[in-house]
Structure 1
Amino acid sequence: MKQLSILAKIENQMERFSPAEKKIAAYILGHAELVPNMTTKELSRNAGASEASVVRFCKSIGIGSFTALKLALVRELTIADMNINDFSIIEKQDAPYDLFNKVTYVNKAAIEATTTTIDKRELEKAAEAIVNAGKILFYGVGGSAASAMDACYKFTKLGYVSAMSLDFHTMLPLAANLKEGDVFVAISTSGRTKDVLEISRFAKKQHATVVAITKLDPSSPLYKEADIKLCLPDVEQDYRIGSMASRMTQLNVIDALYLITFHKVGSRVIEKFHETREEVVRLRR
């Protein structure tokens, strides 16, 4: 039996809700795309109900928290409705420009949803660890490898000793030479990729700080074991044609870390930036 979507569940249970919960349900059904970026206080104010009613509403529909509700809505709006990343796409007759618009919408919604999963304190801890790092290693496999490569390139531009490899056996000696104060950035959407987990554990043995860029899933090994967690929304099925929205959320977090770091160390690297730029321009001629 197919499980009901969160919006369908809310609609089906409307008659069972208390008057305050009905106000919240009506608001969510009419403004589902806005709710993932709201706080409990904002939803209660817009719906004309108390914050306590929002909490009770979440429990009434079988979801433990408002954060969980927002994540469920994000997944439903970006994946279930658009349905662009599973094999059923071959059954549709979408024009190229229609698919472009759908991909754009899904990627945009996924990135915006990251504001509901990133913990401000964890982001600040990650920024501090990276700014003070002697060496930074990045590692991801599959679709996450592209994000690791992009991160390595960006932080090399900032003057850091930064490295990554697509090969597991090349990563082992790189991780073996980490030490306290260095940072290992593990990138895995599922948080269960074996190669990423093994290198992360090896990096921890060297007393490096492990920063995980992974989906918000407290049951995943990477989430449990990382020193710092930069959490992403769960926006893709495991059975898919490729890493799309998940990769965009990873790159968005990496861009943010890069900008935060540049903001802190920019004054000491700006001269090298200019030198690099001049050399790039010269080589174009």
Structure 2
Amino acid sequence: MNKTDIFPLIHARYNSFTNTEKKVADYILEHTKEVIYMSITDLADACSVGESSVFRFCKTMKLKGYQEFKIALAHSISHDDETPQLSGQINIQDTIEEISSKILTTNISALTETYNNMNNDAIIQSIDSMIKAERIHFFGVGASLMTAMEAKNKFMRICNKTECAIDSHLQIMSAALMTENDVAILISYSGSTKDMIEVAKCAKERGAKIIVITRFAKSPLTNYSDITLLCGGNEGPLQGGSLSAKISQLYLLDILYAEFFNRTYEDAVINKESTAKAVISKML
């Protein structure tokens, strides 16, 4: 879409909005920078309206949906000297030292926020479900698929029941064959990705345990989760694939891995030695 200033469009169409759409518009105008980092569910709750009302507001603005609206909003509030595709804190004039320091601070903040938001009971419940499960499926799309594949690579070294399909069609087919004895771990920063919502819905209908790793406690995806693990790090709509968000997701997965290893120590040690020996011939 074109880099259109969305604020004049909101004002121009304001009188044609429904009452609920006006509530959404008013909140956006008053809390612009906060909205960029909100899920559609968070915005709906803040405005005391339904998600459908937020979606209708976006359609009235001639936009395809909420994510396109957030992209337009990000373009509208960015200053000429900022690089919003990287971070609102990084400017074009920054030196390498300044960029390095800011990125370090951003990553540390993401990890710290993840740690502070951690729910130990949710971690324990997740591990209990994973140990009991016959199969553990990791799901993700886009940048989150890379995280899901990393999780598969890590856990397959200590157990033989992990799976990760890399195609959206294969993912939904895997979900359709899940049972109540399986665990689905879905990774999605926004919690609003259509493919992940479809996978979660399908796995839920099959009776599988759903664990969601996401930024937002309330999102369309968490409506299907049995356990939600929150990662830190703000990722704007122009910053897809943010490494700070990925690092916080990997941090949670590393915690799950370490606790899973401890709880299945005898088997985990044997399996880790076996997988290490299997690839040793690939090394010089």
- Which band: TM-score by shorter chain? 0.5 to 0.7
Question: CA shift at 1:184, angstroms?
Answer: 0.3
Residue identity opposite 1:259 in structure 2: A
- Which residue does 2:55 correspond to in 1? none
Question: CA shift at 1:173, angstroms?
Answer: 2.1
Distance (whole Å) between structure 2 residues aligned to residue 227 and residue 211 of structure 1: 6
Structure 2, unmatched stretches of 5+, are 1-28, 35-45, 47-77
Residue identity opposite 2:187 in structure 1: I
Q: Are the structure 2 counterparts of residues 93 and 242 from structure 1 closer, same or farther at C-alpha, using a change threshold of 3 Å? A: farther
Q: Say if 2:233 and 2:248, in contact at 8 Å, map to a contact too.
A: no
Q: Say if 1:151 and 1:254, in contact at 8 Å, map to a contact too.
A: yes
- Which residue does 1:155 correspond to in 2? 155
Distance (whole Å) between structure 2 residues aligned to residue 107 and residue 178 of structure 1: 35
Once the two structures are aligned, what percentage of the paired residues are identical? 27
Please give the per-residue CA displacement for 1:210-236, whole angstroms capped at 9, x wherever unaligned.
Answer: 000011332x11122201111123522
Does structure 1 residue 123 correspond to structure 2 residue 123? yes
Residue identity opposite 1:266 in structure 2: Y
Query: How do 1:139-178 and structure 2 match up within 5 A?
Result: 139-178=139-178
Q: Are the structure 2 counterparts of residues 85 and 154 from structure 1 closer, same or farther at C-alpha, using a change threshold of 3 Å? A: farther
Q: Are the structure 2 counterparts of residues 4 and 174 from structure 1 closer, same or farther at C-alpha, using a change threshold of 3 Å? A: closer
Distance (whole Å) between structure 2 residues aligned to residue 221 and residue 248 of structure 1: 23
Distance (whole Å) between structure 2 residues aligned to residue 183 and residue 230 of structure 1: 14
Question: CA shift at 1:140, angstroms?
Answer: 1.0
- Which residue does 1:239 correspond to in 2? 238
Question: CA shift at 1:100, angstroms?
Answer: 2.5
Q: Are the structure 2 counterparts of residues 4 and 89 from structure 1 closer, same or farther at C-alpha, using a change threshold of 3 Å? A: closer
Structure 1, unmatched stretches of 5+, are 7-61, 63-79
Distance (whole Å) between structure 1 residues aligned to residue 123 and residue 209 of structure 2: 14
Q: Are the structure 2 counterparts of residues 275 and 84 from structure 1 closer, same or farther at C-alpha, using a change threshold of 3 Å? A: farther
Q: Say if 1:175 and 1:202, in contact at 8 Å, map to a contact too.
A: yes
Distance (whole Å) between structure 2 residues aligned to residue 115 and residue 194 of structure 1: 28
Aligned-pair Cα RMSD in Å? 2.7
- Which residue does 2:133 correspond to in 1? 133
Q: 3-state DSSP class of the match of 1:94?
A: coil
Q: Say if 1:216 and 1:234, in contact at 8 Å, map to a contact too.
A: no
Q: Say if 1:118 and 1:230, in contact at 8 Å, map to a contact too.
A: yes
Q: Say if 1:147 and 1:251, in contact at 8 Å, map to a contact too.
A: yes
Q: Are the structure 2 counterparts of residues 279 and 109 from structure 1 closer, same or farther at C-alpha, using a change threshold of 3 Å? A: same
How many residue pairs were aligned?
Answer: 210
Q: Are the structure 2 counterparts of residues 269 and 242 from structure 1 closer, same or farther at C-alpha, using a change threshold of 3 Å? A: closer
- TM-score for the superposition, normalised by structure 2: 0.67
Query: How do 1:266-281 and structure 2 match up within 5 A?
Result: 266-281=265-280
Please give the per-residue CA displacement for 1:210-268, whole angstroms capped at 9, x wherever unaligned.
Answer: 000011332x1112220111112352222326422111111111111111100111211
Q: Say if 1:133 and 1:183, in contact at 8 Å, map to a contact too.
A: yes
Task: List structure 1 runs of 4+ shifted beyond 6 angstroms.
Answer: none
Q: 3-state DSSP class of the match of 1:221?
A: coil
